[in-house]
Amino acid sequence: MAILNQEPPRFLKKGFRFGFGEEMEGVDYLTDERKTAQFDIEAMKVAWAGSRETLEVSDRMAKLVANDPVFEKFSRPMLGRKELFKNTLRKAAYAWKLIVSLGLSEEEAKWLRLYIDEPAFTDLHWGMFIPAIEGQGTEEQKQKWLPLAQKMQIIGCYAQTELGHGSNVQGLETTATFDPQTDEFVLHSPTLTSSKWWPGGLGKVSTHAIVYARLIVGGQFHGVHGFIVQLRSLEDHSPVDGITVGDIGLKFGNGAYNTMDNGVLRFDHVRIPRNQMLMRVSQVTKEGEIMQSDVPRQLIYGTMVYVRQTIVADASKALSRAVCIATRYSAVRRQFGSRNGGPETQVIDYKTQQNRLFPLLASAYAFRFVGEWLKWLYMDVKQRLAANDFSTLPEAHACTAGLKSLTTTATADGIEECRKLCGGHGYLVSSGLPELFAVYIPACTYEGDNVVLLLQVARFLVKTVSELGHKKPVGTTAYMGRAAGLLQTNCAVQTAEEWLNPGAIVEAFEARAARMAVGIAQRLAKFENPEQGFAELAADLVEASVAHCQLIVVSKFIEKLQQQDIRGKGVRESLEVLCYVYALFTLHKHQGDFLATGCLSPKQASLANDQLRTLYSKVRPNAVALVDSFSYTDHYLGSILGRYDGNVYPKLYEAAWEDPLNDSDVADGFHQYVQPMLKQKLLLSSAKL
């Protein structure tokens, strides 16, 4: 026993295997799990990716990144801030070199940046700066600025949020005052709270920004508008006169989002030419007249729909990564249950683990498919806008706002739940989950605080209810047109098996959403002051919005299963199981809504939960194969616990010895501080107690 407790010799600590390491090295410990799959994994990969072409491009870029040592990321959490940021700049420059030298398409470049898996200034440049010019710039502005941006001859960011205002865009304080004498706008930060605060890429890299400011012409306020502003010299990168700019400091996590230079920006009467105001919708003439173009203001919402649909797509990627890690590790990890000296029980076989893990697995697929649908919705909106058809825009705006809120909240919570599902080892940075969580959670705030977005959805729902008598609801609110029937309908489910009827599920979710929306609208009508009522009932309005958004996710998952492009043995059947898991778990989690609104009886809610337990048994043999279908490389997962081969314990042991604290047997500072304490030679100060 004494031998077992002895510390291994140093030559065995680093770079050598012994004991369990020799047995486990080179073995795929998840082979048996993969043999139980009841579907064609390659076909499921196509279903997840959306098409075989997308899968091939994605896999090719993932392997390109994984096999290039420049993109190594496992040492990232141990780097100091300056070294970390410099490393990010190096990777971004190298990635751009690859894009140019290999002649990568826009689609390939997008996947390359995704798999590098490191927040960087390029995210805002390609994701916000360029789309803003494309959506809000005139043809002349696009011809001037887009070639420069697309060739990375200028680098841009999106400067909207301020120290004192985020979600309330109309409350922004930065001013842009037109000077007709010089045909210029004068940008100014009149207060401390008017400082731009948070824009990614602003702190140290961006040469230009889309700055949102209060337009002042002739002493009158004419709304908040966007302006293209040069921040730094293109020669030596020093700030332009009148501009104070820097980084806002460390953020949550180790490496995480600290690779991004989120910035602070102040203007001291900075002048820009008049033609640098984004003027596709509104224009200011040389004479100082405000002109509205033929393009309606609603066009701006098109850009918002685009950005939010990408956020929903990113939610499915982040949640699926966490679920992949937790699922594989749950299959590797064994605890308790040993009989007669045999192996212990796999953690994934415990019903409590399944009840927490499998709904998250189902959610990842649900969010993937609703994100796919949102991409179609954006293209539809884009085509309609080009034809001056704005009829579906309010519904599309509300839909994307609600789904952004729903999916990012569920994903942030889901990543943390996956960390807890991995037990103590999930707390290690090498599990990949703490870093994934730290990088992801800002999504609950940027591009609209999630609660604020749900309140916007609620306003739209209340308006839809108020117009039922004379206006037909469209798109995702079409079910409201059947509100009279949904308020009266009774669920017909009598057995647990009947919950496997898509029609019964959709009807239950529609009835719940309709009753909550109509109910809250009726309560609001009792207030003399509508805004007072809205403030008083805000929490209930949020719940009604969540019900509406969950209906969208459930219905789009079901619609996906009805498409003819799902091919491969067992693929449709396996997805059906996940669809029912998502729907019935959501029903169980929110059964208070279903019961309180009279949509279900307590017996029917209980039957839904019975069926849910049965469904978990159907997910179990497919669990590892379902996460394999995400087709993520070990590099992208960035997790020892989520390794494809399941070789967890030796790799955890190796990783421990790579920590700088283990560079020596005796820690720096030990002799100075701890040894005197052990030797009872501490010098007591003369301070009185």
* pLDDT of 6 higher than 60: no
CA nearest neighbour of 226 among 182, 283, 271, 269? 283
- Kindly list the distances between the CA atom of residue 175 and the CA atoms of 171, 200, 227, in Å, as whole numbers in the listed order: 11, 21, 11
Question: Which tens digit of pLDDT belongs to each residue from 19-67?
Answer: 333 344 456 789 999 999 999 999 999 999 999 999 999 999 999 999 9
Tokens of 518: 């109509």
How do 263-267 and 196-197 pair as beta strands? antiparallel
Q: Are 642 and 433 in contact (CB under 8 A)?
A: no
Residue 531, exposed/middle/buried by CB under 10 A (0-12, 13-18, 19+)?
Answer: exposed
Question: Which tens digit of pLDDT belongs to each residue from 563-588?
Answer: 888 999 999 999 999 999 999 999 99
Question: Which tens digit of pLDDT belongs to each residue from 179-222?
Answer: 999 999 999 999 999 999 999 999 999 999 999 999 999 999 99
What integer pLDDT is reported at residue 24 of this predicted model?
43
* pLDDT of 374 higher than 50: yes
Q: What is the mean pLDDT of the chain?
A: 92
Residue with the larger pLDDT of the pair 203 and 392:
203
What integer pLDDT is reported at residue 680 of this predicted model?
81
- Kindly list the distances between the CA atom of residue 333 and the CA atoms of 182, 264, 569, 621, 648, in Å, as whole numbers in the listed order: 71, 46, 30, 16, 9
pTM, rounded to two decimals: 0.93
- Kindly list the distances between the CA atom of residue 43 and the CA atoms of 116, 319, 567, 574, 575, in Å, as whole numbers in the listed order: 26, 21, 6, 12, 12
Tokens of 609: 């939960």
Helix (H/G/I), strand (E/B), else coil: 683: coil
- Kindly list the distances between the CA atom of residue 502 and the CA atoms of 52, 323, 399, 461, in Å, as whole numbers in the listed order: 28, 25, 22, 24
- Round to whole Å and give the CA distance between 295 and 104: 34
User: How many Cβ atoms from other residues are within 10 Å of residue 678's Cβ?
Assistant: 9
- Round to whole Å and give the CA distance between 457 and 520: 13
Out of 262-276, 284-298, 483-497, 639-653, which region has the weakest mean confidence (pLDDT)? Answer: 284-298
CA diameter of the chain: 92
Q: Are 48 and 630 in contact (CB under 8 A)?
A: yes
| Amino acid residing at 688 | K
CA nearest neighbour of 374 among 402, 350, 351, 347? 402
Q: Are 484 and 428 in contact (CB under 8 A)?
A: no
- Kindly list the distances between the CA atom of residue 298 and the CA atoms of 135, 280, 446, in Å, as whole numbers in the listed order: 11, 12, 21
- Round to whole Å and give the CA distance between 130 and 135: 9
C-alpha 367: how far from chain center: 11
* pLDDT of 251 higher than 50: yes
435 flagged as catalytic: no
What integer pLDDT is reported at residue 1 of this predicted model?
35
CA nearest neighbour of 309 among 401, 200, 381? 401
Question: Which tens digit of pLDDT belongs to each residue from 296-317?
Answer: 676 677 778 888 999 999 999 9
CA nearest neighbour of 586 among 549, 623, 619? 549
- Name the active-site residue from 108, 162, 184, 447: 447
Q: Which residues contact 163 (CB under 8 A, 6 or more apart)?
A: 192, 193, 194, 195, 196, 197, 264
| Phi, psi torsion values for 187, nearest 5 degrees | -90, 135
* pLDDT of 387 higher than 90: no
What integer pLDDT is reported at residue 189 of this predicted model?
98
What integer pLDDT is reported at residue 11 of this predicted model?
34
* pLDDT of 684 higher than 70: no
Percent of the chain with pLDDT over 70: 94
What integer pLDDT is reported at residue 28 of this predicted model?
76
> Distance between the two ends of the chain, CA-based, in angstroms?
47
Rounded to an integer, the average pLDDT of 316-330 is 98
Question: Which tens digit of pLDDT belongs to each residue from 405-422?
Answer: 999 999 999 999 999 999
What integer pLDDT is reported at residue 18 of this predicted model?
31
- Round to whole Å and give the CA distance between 47 and 375: 16
* Residue appearing with tokens 């490393």: 87
* pLDDT of 496 higher than 80: yes
* Residue appearing with tokens 């009726």: 522
What integer pLDDT is reported at residue 682 of this predicted model?
60
What integer pLDDT is reported at residue 14 of this predicted model?
46
Tokens of 577: 């199981």
Rounded to an integer, the average pLDDT of 608-632 is 98
- Round to whole Å and give the CA distance between 630 and 322: 11
CA nearest neighbour of 230 among 294, 144, 291, 289? 144
* pLDDT of 391 higher than 90: no
Tokens of 307: 């950005």
